[in-house]
Chains A and B, each alone.
Chain A
Amino acid sequence: DTAVSQTPKYLVTQMGNDKSIKCEQNLGHDTMYWYKQDSKKFLKIMFSYNNKELIINETVPNRFSPKSPDKAHLNLHINSLELGDSAVYFCASSQGLGPPEKLFFGSGTQLSVL
Chain B
Amino acid sequence: RKEVEQDPGPFNVPEGATVAFNCTYSNSASQSFFWYRQDCRKEPKLLMSVYSSGNEDGRFTAQLNRASQYISLLIRDSKLSDSATYLCVASPYNTDKLIFGTGTRLQVFP
Contacts and interface: CB of A to CB of B under 8 A. Distances in A.
B54 interface: no
Given A40-B102, A41-B85, A41-B102, A100 B44 contact: no
Interface stretch (B13-21, B69-77, B89-97): B89-97
Interface of B: 31-32, 36, 42-46, 49, 85, 87, 91, 95-98, 100, 102-103
Given A99-B31, A99-B91, A105 B45 contact: yes
Overall SS of chain B's interface? strand
A43 B87 CA distance: 9
14 contacts: A41-B85, A41-B103, A43-B100, A44-B100, A55-B96, A56-B97, A97-B96, A99-B91, A99-B97, A101-B49, A102-B46, A106-B43, A107-B42, A107-B43
Q: Which of A31, A90, A100, A106 has most B Cβ within 10 Å?
A: A100
Nearest to A42: B102
Overall SS of chain A's interface? loop
